Structure 1
Amino acid sequence: MLAACGVRPAYVPEGERSGRDLSGREPSLTFANWPLYIDTDDADPGRRPTLDAFRKRTGISVRYTEEINDNDEFFGKVGPALMNGQATDRDLIVVSDWMAARFVRLGWVQKMDRAAQSHVAGHLDPQLRRPAFDPGRLHAVPWQSGITGIAYNRRALGRELRSTRQLWDADLRGKVTLLSGLDEAVALLMQANGADVTRWTQDDFHAVCDQVEKLVREKHIRRFTGNDYIKDLSSGDVLACQAYSGDVIQLQADDPDIEFVVPEEGGELWAESLMIPNLARHKANAERLVDYYYEPEVAAELAAWVNYVCPVPAAQAVLADSGDAELAALAEDPLIFPDREMRGRLAIARDITSAERRTMAQRWNALVGL
């Protein structure tokens, strides 16, 4: 019907996704990522040591841009070109896995050549290998992973928090924030209610919304945030909040009273993944860069800077054996290399389907004021 009306369908069939790969004659690629999500040189923030080493080893230069600030915003930026069978002028992008699922469903990204990526095949964290949206992880490879849990100021609160349900305690009224994004917030809240987030139902979702709606009316929740919860927690305006593990590790460097907890009911394990858009002009170069970051030594260098969950468990031994006390301490941090006990409390939430998303987003966004 769309074709009859002269409107191109959004879905791109497999045979229309690849273009002429210029990697052999053009030793370059363009890599779009989030801000502050790669290692930099302390003396020169404009230098990125792991990328510099890749260029020196391979002769491939990388034009690195920090242009992704929001998943939906980036989707809107590149979507028109991808929908219309045009190149995006990007060879490699990083988006959250819930957004990666949308790209894969729409056929907007290409399968990678795993035969040319021995390090990905050999070192990818087993817990991240089989996302429902991308069986075999042929289209998406985790750049970094992370945990959604709860953060709190232990000194200011005067007690410990061990459960998401404790966010609703009376002494936290007006001192709690939740994440504003539907995909970022609801899994942890479902876990607090005892739901299995690997197969949650619409009833689980609406139970959370009913609960949050009541807490908003009672002014228990101070506000809904993006990453700016960091400022609220640092200033003391907020005592406890939903938070990401990597953010809190960085906060603790300035304030050791800030704690991050994987709740006793469970926390959400997620990833932000590398993908190659349709018609990328340097696909082989991009695949080579992806595989490079799965070398344990390179993954360790990146993990030591970004402090999120490393998707390459073998990097832990590299840091432990580095001879540097600070790096060795990172190897023992379960928020970077989760141990068996912590992994037992982590779950990867099932995706929100396209059929569910419109209704769920309408209800959630009305609650959070988006």
Structure 2
Amino acid sequence: MADLTRRTALVGMLAALTGCGVPPAYIAENRRAAQDRSATDKKIAFANWPLYIDVDEDDAKRRPTLEAFEKRTGIQVDYTEEINDNNEFFGKIGPTLMTHHDPGRDLIVISDWMCARFVGLGWVQQMDRARQPHVTRYLDPLLRDPAFDPGRKYTVPWQSGITGIAYNRKALGREIRQVSDLWADDLRGQVTLLSGMDEAFALLMQGNGVDIRRWKVADFHKVIDQLRSLVSSNHIRRFTGNDYTKDLSSGDVLACQAYSGDVIQLQADNPDIEFVVPDSGAELWADSLMIPNLAEHKRNAERLIDYYYEPEVAAELAAWVNYVCPVPAAREVLASSKDKDTAALAEDPLIFPDDSMRKRLFIARDITAAERPELENEWEQLVGR
């Protein structure tokens, strides 16, 4: 309860300061670096999400790609799966970064919309791309220039994904091609949307023909008005977290807003489930690596990041986690595998989007600090939180 209170107070304080036009707890560039101990202290503290790295099939405690890095470099990686929610982790690490203390982590992975907050607050260090030739060469062009971090100076995608539509085609008996297809009468009470504002809003705007790279607040208000009507008419069954997968698998819903990586797993059990990138487009997002301020092993962290951009390593990771791989060159590695199941992943457009799909994928402009309080209030009233 004490931790929850601290998180609530921190987020509230930052929102209040931002609303007054004051950059809260901003750390200037020249105050972000600690004395780097990488040369003499061969360590990295790496915080990530659960189930977001390859593991040995016979021993879940072993992580083959990390072990290979340790063997090659002599750098020991203290890998923890401590990130379960973006806002929760913001509240956990925020007070330390805000007061300019050592965060105890050299590398973290959070969603790009939350990365935007860290970058805006000056809580992360710029990476030395001269030490990361594989990132420079192999990072997917679609992911290189998000609005919050042009040129990816402070962030590097760990894995990427698509927010689109999943549905059971056999049970529905028709095809879904557009967001508007979700609002047809035969889906009344059989549709769920994501409960997180940052996860949900972009796709819904795209359904209205909005270019999410440069959306306006008025576009957000239009979506809210549409959803209020759909909620009041009971067309939308509910707003969900990742438990939408259970609803779709059980048949409790026929269509839902969904993440591409989840659908690959669902399709393994039910081939009738399809994932749709609407003709109007879908949101391409990433969970990205960052080096927080005062991290004591920056060069070691940069080296680990670059290691995961070697196509052979990226392919091994992609084959395990099944999200959109940020290293397109890994596709050729998987295609050459002697294992048929592994080679088949190279042809899966939800891991390596084809040219047609890539033309319909866009990174949304992030919600600014000034916009967020008002929009979050509207969204939370809508979803009933």
TM-score category by the smaller chain?
over 0.9
Q: After superposition, what is the alpha-carbon deviation per residue over 1:195-222, rounded to whole angstroms, capped at 9, x for unaligned? A: 1111111111101000000011001111
Aligned to 1:238: 253
Q: Kindly provide the amino acid, as one letter, of the partner of residue 149 in structure 1.
A: G
Q: After superposition, what is the alpha-carbon deviation per residue over 1:161-216, rounded to whole angstroms, capped at 9, x for unaligned? A: 11111111111111111001111101000000111111111111101000000011
Task: Tell whether 2:310 aligns with 1:305.
Answer: no
CA distance in 2, matches of 1:291, 1:91: 14
Task: Tell whether 2:161 aligns with 1:146.
Answer: yes
Task: Tell whether 2:289 aligns with 1:283.
Answer: no
The offset of 1:29, in angstroms, is 0.7
Q: After superposition, what is the alpha-carbon deviation per residue over 1:139-181, rounded to whole angstroms, capped at 9, x for unaligned? A: 0000011100000112221222111111111111111110011
CA distance in 2, matches of 1:52, 1:156: 45
CA distance in 1, matches of 2:68, 2:82: 22
CA distance in 2, matches of 1:279, 1:89: 9
Contact kept, 8 Å, 2:24 with 2:121, in 1: the verdict is no
TM-score (norm 1): 0.97
From 363, 369, 374, the counterpart of 1:348? 363
Q: After superposition, what is the alpha-carbon deviation per residue over 1:109-143, rounded to whole angstroms, capped at 9, x for unaligned? A: 00111100000011000111111111211100000
From 144, 161, 168, the counterpart of 2:183? 168
Aligned to 1:93: 108
Task: Tell whether 2:76 aligns with 1:61.
Answer: yes
The offset of 1:22, in angstroms, is 1.2
Task: Tell whether 2:346 aligns with 1:331.
Answer: yes
Q: After superposition, what is the alpha-carbon deviation per residue over 1:32-62, rounded to whole angstroms, capped at 9, x for unaligned? A: 1111111111111111110011111111111
The offset of 1:105, in angstroms, is 0.3
Task: Tell whether 2:228 aligns with 1:221.
Answer: no
Task: Tell whether 2:272 aligns with 1:257.
Answer: yes
Aligned to 2:197: 182
The offset of 1:323, in angstroms, is 2.2
CA distance in 1, matches of 2:365, 2:137: 25
Alignment of 1:32-71 (within 5 A): 32-71=47-86
Task: Tell whether 2:85 aligns with 1:77.
Answer: no
Question: Once superposed, which parts of structure 1, at least 4 consecutive aligned residues long, lie more than 3 Å away?
Answer: none
Q: After superposition, what is the alpha-carbon deviation per residue over 1:221-255, rounded to whole angstroms, capped at 9, x for unaligned? A: 11111111111111111110000000000111111
From 21, 39, 56, the counterpart of 1:24? 39
Aligned to 1:295: 310
Alignment of 1:112-151 (within 5 A): 112-151=127-166
The offset of 1:324, in angstroms, is 2.0
Contact kept, 8 Å, 2:180 with 2:207, in 1: the verdict is yes
CA distance in 2, matches of 1:31, 1:307: 21
Q: Secondary structure of 2:237's match?
A: strand
How many residue pairs align between the two structures? 365
Aligned to 2:373: 358
TM-score (norm 2): 0.93
CA distance in 2, matches of 1:281, 1:185: 36
Aligned to 2:223: 208
The offset of 1:9, in angstroms, is 5.0
Aligned to 2:6: none
CA distance in 1, matches of 2:207, 2:238: 19
* 1:353 to 1:159, Cα distance in 2 relative to 1, 3 A: same
Q: Kindly provide the amino acid, as one letter, of the partner of residue 82 in structure 2.
A: E
Q: CA RMSD in A?
A: 1.3
Aligned to 1:5: none
Q: Secondary structure of 1:136's match?
A: coil
Q: Kindly provide the amino acid, as one letter, of the partner of residue 118 in structure 2.
A: F
Q: Kindly provide the amino acid, as one letter, of the partner of residue 21 in structure 1.
A: D
CA distance in 2, matches of 1:331, 1:201: 37
Q: After superposition, what is the alpha-carbon deviation per residue over 1:305-336, rounded to whole angstroms, capped at 9, x for unaligned? A: 11111000100010111222112211011111
CA distance in 1, matches of 2:80, 2:252: 34
The offset of 1:15, in angstroms, is 1.1
Q: Secondary structure of 2:77's match?
A: strand
Q: Kindly provide the amino acid, as one letter, of the partner of residue 42 in structure 2.
A: P
Q: After superposition, what is the alpha-carbon deviation per residue over 1:66-90, rounded to whole angstroms, capped at 9, x for unaligned? A: 1111111100000000000011111
Task: Tell whether 2:335 aligns with 1:320.
Answer: yes
Task: Tell whether 2:165 aligns with 1:157.
Answer: no
Q: Secondary structure of 2:287's match?
A: strand
